[in-house]
Amino acid sequence: MARTRGSVGAETEKAIRKAAVELIAKHGFEAMTLRDLAEHVGLQPGSIYRYIATKDQLLVDIMAEHMETLIAAWRAADRPDADPRLRLEGFVDFHIRYHFQRQKEVVIANLELRSLTPDARRACVGLRKTYEGELRGILEAGITQGFFSPTDSGIATNAIISMLTGVCFWYSPKGKLSADDIIAIHKRLVLGGLSGTPRGEAKIIPLAAGRN
């Protein structure tokens, strides 16, 4: 059945997508029913199909949109002609800030791959690899130009992405450290791990401060 069009339909579809993100992040995809979703946005259960094709397709759309928007936002923020060290600092800053603002989407993107069909999973994994390729290109440029120590760029990419994304699972704006403090720490960890000589004099945070 075709989706409802027009401004009202578009707003309803947006509300459904937002509610789905909330419910999936909180309860998990398998636990969320379309009846729950319809009730959350004030629709009759049968009316939900005017705005979405299937529950499975809704998850695919949410995950694909998250990755496509992430890739586009990074490419807009990146400075391809800059020193690889500056680009890497920029990537760390961008990745953490972007994901801090979308913690629920991060949970879904990382935990609900298991809920996708094989074809949908391959498509979403492909988008992830595209984004990871952006970081890998920075690392390889830095290694080639002598800014970073020789290392396996694939392993380094996976390690950095895992570390940066992992922050989003425990970060709270009410924590002891500010977003800027956390980003500064991760810049030192990433650049120091690759070269031992991170740029600048980032603010030193005592280890006793612990996690955020």
For 144, the domain range is 56-209
At which of 53, 68, 94 does a domain end?
53
Q: Classify the C-alpha dihedral 180-185-186-190 as positive or negative.
A: positive
Q: Are 149 and 45 found together in one domain? A: no
CATH classification at residue 113: 1.10.357.10
Q: Are 42 and 63 found together in one domain? A: no
**Which tokens is 189 given?**
């960890």
CATH classification at residue 11: 1.10.10.60
Residue 201 main-chain phi, psi, to 5 deg: -120, 75
**Which tokens is 23 given?**
């419910």
56-84 residues labelled b (16+ CB within 10 A) or e (exposed)? eebbbbbbbebbeebbeebeeebeeeeeb
Q: Are 181 and 98 found together in one domain? A: yes
For 127-161, the pLDDT digits (tens) are: 999 999 999 999 999 999 999 999 999 999 999 99
Q: Are 13 and 100 found together in one domain? A: no
Q: Are 167 and 79 found together in one domain? A: yes
Q: Are 15 and 64 found together in one domain? A: no
For 181-200, the pLDDT digits (tens) are: 999 999 999 999 997 444 44
Q: Are 83 and 167 found together in one domain? A: yes
Residue 107 pLDDT level (bands cut at 50, 70, 90): very high
pLDDT at position 212 is 52
Q: Are 22 and 81 found together in one domain? A: no
Report yes or no: 95 and 168 within 8 Å, Cβ to Cβ.
no
Report yes or no: 109 and 66 within 8 Å, Cβ to Cβ.
yes
Is pLDDT at 34 greater than 60 in this prediction?
A: yes
Q: Are 189 and 89 found together in one domain? A: yes
Report yes or no: 83 and 147 within 8 Å, Cβ to Cβ.
yes
Which of 12-21, 32-41, 123-132, 172-181 is predicted least confidently?
Answer: 172-181
Q: Are 24 and 90 found together in one domain? A: no
Q: Are 5 and 65 found together in one domain? A: no
Q: Are 44 and 105 found together in one domain? A: no
At which of 53, 76, 95 does a domain end?
53
At which of 21, 37, 53 does a domain end?
53
Per the structure, the count of domains in the chain is 2
Is pLDDT at 169 greater than 70 in this prediction?
A: yes
What pTM was computed for the model?
A: 0.83
